[in-house]
Amino acid sequence: MPERIVVIGYGPVGARFVDELEPALRAGLVEVTVIGAEAVDPYNRVLVAEYAVGHTALDAMSLGGSTTAVDAGARILTGATVTSISRSRRFVSISRGVGTDPEQVPYDRLVFATGARANVPTLDGVPRVRRDHLAPPSDGRMLDSAGGALPAGITVLRDLLDAEAVLEAVSSGRRIIVLGAGVLGMEIALAAASAGAEVCVVYHGGIPMARSLDRGSGTVLARAARQAGVTMLDHSRAESVVLRHDDDGVARFDMLVCADGKQIAGDMLLLSCGVSARSELARSAGLDVAAGILVDATLRTWSDPFVYAIGDCAHIAAKPAPGASSALPPGAPSGLIGPGWRQADWLAVSMIAELTGSDSTPALAPERPALVMLKADGIDLVAAGDLSADPWDSGPSDNTAGCEHAALQVAEWADPQHGRYVKMVTRQGVLEAFASVGMPRTGAELALLFQRGSELPSDRSVLLRYDGPDYEPTSANDGFARDATVCWCNAVTVGSVADSAAAGDGTVACVSAATRAGTGCGGCKGRIAEVIDWFAQHGEAREVPA
């Protein structure tokens, strides 16, 4: 009998998992049922912000694959939600909406790919929902609102309906207040401003993107955003909203009030305050939950070996031994599409290997600290690692060679007037963290060195030459080596792009279709074009340096 696999969630990660199962579907090894709350085919949520300002079309966001999956034998149920799970009898109960009869779908293996939802902060005047106490809704449209819809004019940016509301505001040139200055908040603010909207970003810290940047890089970013037309209000803790009632009697957003008394009027309040895993269904089924659904290194849940979780809902942590501390484990889901896709790929390969009796599946590789890249016209920013070290910090002696506690060394260069800043944090010469703003080629080189765990030159200043006027791209030592990463979301290398180009894929679109490079956040498309051009001129990618 085929193995019955039920997938809860049909976003980018769930769709990728189903794609990778297609060979097993066609071979009759598995039966797959997918339950998705949205009544649309899967699309790339990373591009929702670009869609919200008219920078990309809906067709460009589509991940496709649903027709192929159905042809292979998968059953795809959209606009449906799982209302309960019987782990003892191994079936899920699903609802197709209010007034429809529930359906029970049996499973041998159950995979959660429920993703995450946008956080709604505590603001007087905005409904607050205790999601950890929720019962799963019978209507997929209520999955995030839980019956407590946000007032008119207040929105998050997580799905197509949210994006269409923002697009209407941007197209009308309205005043948009963005609450939160993380990556998504800054990207949507800068994009909306470039599209003609009046934008104000409100955040309670001293710098934007405070979780990823240090004071120097954050200050340069804030200055660049102001030059791009975005009002930046730092040290502003939002406390409440004021609503007005229009002639139609509908309460609409009017202004945001901060703890220091500031009243910021606007037409739309866009909440960009992070995300949290959709885990209430798992909790109601008795599965262990912390920041997400707790799974081990094989992506199996701590509570049930026949239940798995991948993507933004999965919190990977080692299960404690019997009698060990019951404290919740540290960490959280990555919140990035690249790790979610890699989990989906690995789990599909692992399941197929189990079903075919193969034991050759390698272990799921631990994720390196993620690169943070800001997609914004005219602002090049990339950062990674812990940037809290200061150039003048005192630490352990430099004589602790070979010790993980060796002193950190920090090199910093700033040109705030021109929006440029670089910081490099190394231990025994190896790059542990960096930030680069306004230095695109230097940032790309540092990202490569960080990826490889390579030593930096003893004279750190030579790295700045990559953005100098006499720089020649073909003179780079490693930028076109076959193992250099081009697409971080899909882990596509220069070698893969070069091989695709050699096979006749001469455009970015063709290479993307063949390798998946550029189909995640889209921030690497310029780099893909550069590699294609380099290949056309030189005939082959560089070999990996010795």
Is the pLDDT at 302 greater than 50, yes or no?
A: yes
Of all residues in the chain, the percent with pLDDT exceeding 70 is 91
Compute the radius of gyration of the chain from its Cα atoms: 24
The residue that leads in pLDDT, 486 or 217, is 217
Give 130's contacts (C-beta < 8 A, 6+ positions apart): none
Furthest C-alpha separation in the chain: 74
- Token code pair at residue 517: 């490079």
The mean pLDDT value of the chain amounts to 88
Give 174's contacts (C-beta < 8 A, 6+ positions apart): 197, 198, 266, 267, 268
CA dist 88 → 35, 91, 196 (Å)? 20, 8, 56
Cβ pair 415, 468 in contact under 8 A: no
518 Ramachandran zone, left/alpha/beta (phi>0; psi -120 to 50)? left
The closest alpha carbon to 338, from 372, 380, 309, 363, belongs to: 372
For range 23-30, the mean pLDDT: 95
Residue 289's identity, in one-letter code, is: V
> What residues pair up with 242 in beta bridges, in sequence order?
255
Is the pLDDT at 327 greater than 90, yes or no?
A: no
When mean pLDDT is compared across 24-38, 49-63, 156-170, 428-442, the lowest value belongs to 49-63
Give 3-118+276-356's CATH code, choosing from 3.50.50.60, 1.20.1340.10, 3.40.50.880, 3.40.640.10: 3.50.50.60
Grouping H, G, I as helix, E, B as strand and the rest as coil, residue 393 is coil
Parallel, antiparallel or unpaired: strands 198-202 and 175-179: parallel
The residue that leads in pLDDT, 166 or 500, is 166
The closest alpha carbon to 310, from 291, 320, 289, 295, belongs to: 295
Give 181's contacts (C-beta < 8 A, 6+ positions apart): 189, 201, 203, 205, 207, 208, 209, 210, 232, 272
Grouping H, G, I as helix, E, B as strand and the rest as coil, residue 265 is strand
Is the pLDDT at 375 greater than 90, yes or no?
A: no
For range 420-435, the mean pLDDT: 95
CA dist 284 → 81, 131, 136, 142, 396 (Å)? 14, 11, 8, 17, 49
Is the pLDDT at 469 greater than 90, yes or no?
A: no
Grouping H, G, I as helix, E, B as strand and the rest as coil, residue 264 is strand
Q: Where are the domains of the chain?
A: 3-118+276-356, 150-273
When mean pLDDT is compared across 119-133, 376-390, 405-419, the lowest value belongs to 119-133
Burial 492-513 (b: 16+ CB within 10 A, else e): bbbbbbbbbbeeebeebeebbe
The residue that leads in pLDDT, 467 or 359, is 467
- Split at pLDDT 50, 70, 90, the class of 106 is very high
Give 514's contacts (C-beta < 8 A, 6+ positions apart): 500, 503, 505
pLDDT at 543: 47
Please give the CATH superfamily to which domain 150-273 belongs: FAD/NAD(P)-binding domain (3.50.50.60)
CA dist 51 → 58, 230, 271 (Å)? 7, 19, 17
The answer to whether the 3-118+276-356 and 150-273 domains have the same CATH topology is yes
pLDDT at 133: 61
Task: Give the other-Cβ count within 10 Å of 393's Cβ.
Answer: 11
- Torsion 50-53-54-58 (CA) sign: positive
- Please tell me the distance from the alpha carbon of residue 462 to that of residue 185, in angstroms, as a whole number: 34
Q: For 481, which DSSP code?
A: B
- Torsion 417-422-423-429 (CA) sign: negative
When mean pLDDT is compared across 37-51, 99-113, 135-149, 523-537, the lowest value belongs to 135-149
Grouping H, G, I as helix, E, B as strand and the rest as coil, residue 418 is helix
SS3 assignment for 278-292: CCHHHHHCCCCECCC
Q: For 507, which DSSP code?
A: S
- Please give the torsion angle defined by the CA atoms of residues 10, 11, 13 and 16, in that order, rounded to the nearest 10 degrees: 60
Burial-class residue 542 by CB neighbours within 10 Å (0-12, 13-18, 19+): buried
pLDDT at 365: 81
Cβ pair 42, 159 in contact under 8 A: no
The residue that leads in pLDDT, 267 or 521, is 267
Cβ pair 44, 519 in contact under 8 A: yes
Is the pLDDT at 46 greater than 70, yes or no?
A: yes
